[in-house]
Structure 1
Amino acid sequence: MKRVSIYILGLSFLACGTPKLVVTNPEDVQPAREETTLQSGPDGLKADTEKFNTAIAKSYPVTTSEEVGRIMGFLASDELQGRDTGSEGIEKAAVFIENHFKANDVAPYYETYRDELSNYTKPAFNVLGIVPGNDELLKDEVIIVGAHYDHIGTMSPVAGDKVANGANDNASGTTSVLEMAKYFGQHKTNKRTIIFALFSAEEKGLLGSAHLAKRMKKEGVNLYAVLNFEMIGVPLQNKNYEVYITGYEKSNLAEISNAYSGANLVGYLPTAKKNGLFARSDNYPFYNEFKIPSHTYCTFDFTNFNFYHKPDDEVEQMDMSHMANTINKFTPMVEGIANGPKGEIKMN
């Protein structure tokens, strides 16, 4: 992440019937729980919860701790030398991501998977895949599911180790996006179009996402929401929710996320607001350009991980069971958002 970037999310799902909103008071870390019925969108469409829950019952879990460990093990290995933007190491990461997309029937968004940056001196690129929506009324609305795949490369040695592997920051978020892309690429259950975006140069100042946001704005993309994932490698402690989102109060995304998880999955972290984290990761350029719900899901809260931007941000520090569990909750949440009524997610 860029000088402290943060994101993550999690979820579960309702057994059947109308989704319920689980509202977490943003001024209370231990909120009272309030439930309200999810209403239809302005066009009168209802969330197709029966079909949604049937798909979940047939298709989950999406990933396992072993598969998460395999992906993380490569992305955060010394071979990639910290995935610095424009380096040989990040090129290897990009090839890995492209092969994952190809293996799971996720098509290139542009002519190839690579979106070359216009705002960085060295050759650098985002890696973008797409699963088109399957509904005539909703497929023109686009959701970005994203994470940055770059890190800071090498640094002054600490105990002889100079590689900043970036396991939590942000091989963890990248792994989450890849495994969700696998599910949607294989099952094609999304009514809205989903773009799976792995951003470069986040550590250089959100340059990859800034480039893509401007490009998409110029191209007239009908962007509905941006769900960004960062630093989800270790669980939160002593919270009554599993992940938080930055910019909690700016939209109703937390409530909608919880509605499709059927649990108090996403909460409010006061520290995130205090430190201005909403503006410090790849969600922010899209918010600036499109003024739509654009948030980061995260589990790093400044107390549960001591190796931010250090060589000790290694795979061995990650909790693979936690990550697999969270990804398996993220996926039906994203599916619910992709299939929900028009206008369901909105700015406050």
Structure 2
Amino acid sequence: MRGIFFLFLILSTFIGCKPSKTIIILSDEIKESVIYLSSDDLAGRNTGTGGIEKAAKYIEQQLKSFGVKPYFESYRDDFKAKGLDAFNIVGYIEGTDSKLKNEFVIISAHYDHIGYAKAVDNDSIANGANDNASGTSSVLAIAKYFAAKKKNKRSIMFVLFSAEELGLLGSEHLAKRLKNENLDLYSMLNFEMTGVPLKDRDYVAFLSGYDLSNMASKINEYVDSNLIGLSDIAKKYNLFVASDNYAFYKEFGLPCQSLSSCDLSNYDYYHHVDDEADKLDYDFMASLINKIIPAIEKMCDTPTKEIEMYE
């Protein structure tokens, strides 16, 4: 077997290819990230606190270790949020295609939470494991994958927003900044509460604003499965306008939507002190990430912008 492998290496050199390597996102690495981000030491990651500073440093260290570069002079995109010093974390991987690299796909999540909530059994820290350490950890895992592959033709921007819980202030700031800088945005996929599976659905996750674009159908086409569906509950409560995708949709008028596996029908701990790391399903999280990555690859590599708003 060893001889056959080396023969393959020699032949691949002559035909200009390399042995492919499949990168799998493991549940243990997702769990490790969620556990840290939702630990008591971070005190609920409220904007303007020492806890969110610790979260930001962790995210920056992770991106740096992956080889994801800062998009601005540093990873931090500073702004004021109701008088508080706040900052989004923004990294990117430049595309490999000379033309397509000027177009951007944004992969994002918010990393802040509410700090404290009504005490239960003498615990008042709202650690926000599902909301939204789960989404943050998903974005970090996806960033690690693409940094290792280095084959995305379009550029990818990885954004972790602050001040989402104060009224989507981080995304509003960055959307306006990037619009003023004439960013050529293709699409945005925002990760919001991805820590638990939906119940009694024939799909795995839903997109907010499902009916506004063909993003859901294109993702399903790209992965050849019914991965993304329409949540009637999300539509009823108009969750499209309740997450960080909305500011980008308003500024750019493009497909900017949130992916979630929680429409509050399947999780009882929204903004609750029991939204803890031990409540999440890490095998499910890893499976969802591994399933969505091929769709993101296609989004980055298609010759034309196939994902479009409906008229």
Identify the match of residue 23 of structure 2 among 37, 55, 60. 60
The equivalences for 1:37-48 within 5 A come to none
Q: Matched residues in 2 for 1:104 and 1:293: separation?
A: 28
**In structure 1, the residue corresponding to 2:21 is in which secondary structure?**
helix
1:327 partnered with 2:256: no
For 2:147 and 2:165, the matched residues in 1 are separated by 29
1:346 aligns with 2:308: yes
Give the alignment of 1:99-248 within 5 angstroms.
99-248=61-210
Q: 3-state SS of the aligned residue for 1:238?
A: coil
Q: Is the 8 A contact 1:119 1:211 kept in 2?
A: no
CA distance in 1, matches of 2:203, 2:80: 39
Alignment correspondent of 1:303: 265
Note the alpha carbon deviations across 1:242-286, whole angstroms, 9 max, x for none: 000000010000011111111000001111111011000000000
Deviations 1:72-119 (A, max 9, x none): 110000000000001100000000000001101000000000000145
Q: Distance in 2 between matches of 1:168 and 1:72?
A: 9
Q: Distance in 1 between matches of 2:230 and 2:20?
A: 29
Find the partner of 1:252 among 210, 214, 217. Answer: 214
**Residues 324, 57 of structure 1: alpha-carbon distance in 2 compared, 3 angstrom cutoff:** farther
- Preserved CA contact (<8 Å) 2:208 2:235: yes
CA positional deviation for 1:341: 2.7
In structure 2, what is the equivalent of residue 265 of structure 1?
227
Alpha-carbon distance between aligned partners in 2 of 1:263 and 1:56, rounded to the nearest angstrom = 27
Matching residue's letter, 1:58: K
Larger RCO (CA within 8 A; separation ≥ 6): 1
Distance (Å, rounded) in 2 between the aligned partners of 1:222 and 1:236: 34
Greater share of helix: 2
| Paired positions, count | 294
* Per-residue deviation, 1:327: 1.0
Moved over 4 A (4+): 54-57
Equivalent position SS for 2:206: strand
Computing the radius of gyration from Cα coordinates, the structure with the larger value is 2
* Aligned: 1:282 with 2:244: yes
Deviation at 1:156, TM superposition (A): 2.9
User: In structure 2, do the counterparts of structure 1 residues 344 and 92 end up closer, same or farther at CA, with 3 Å as the change threshold?
Assistant: same
Q: 1:115 to 1:56 in 2, by over 3 A?
A: farther
In structure 2, do the counterparts of structure 1 residues 316 and 339 end up closer, same or farther at CA, with 3 Å as the change threshold? same
* Aligned residues of 1:251 and 1:345 also touching (Cα < 8 A): yes
Cα RMSD, aligned residues only: 1.4
Identity across matched positions, percent: 49
Q: In structure 2, do the counterparts of structure 1 residues 266 and 333 end up closer, same or farther at CA, with 3 Å as the change threshold?
A: same
Q: Which moved more, 1:285-294 or 1:185-194?
A: 185-194
2:23–2:145 contact (8 Å) kept in structure 1: no
The runs of 5 or more residues in structure 1 that have no matched partner are 1-53
Distance of 1:243 and 1:170 partners within structure 2: 16
Letter in 1 for 2:214: N
Residue 83 of structure 1 corresponds to which residue in structure 2? 45
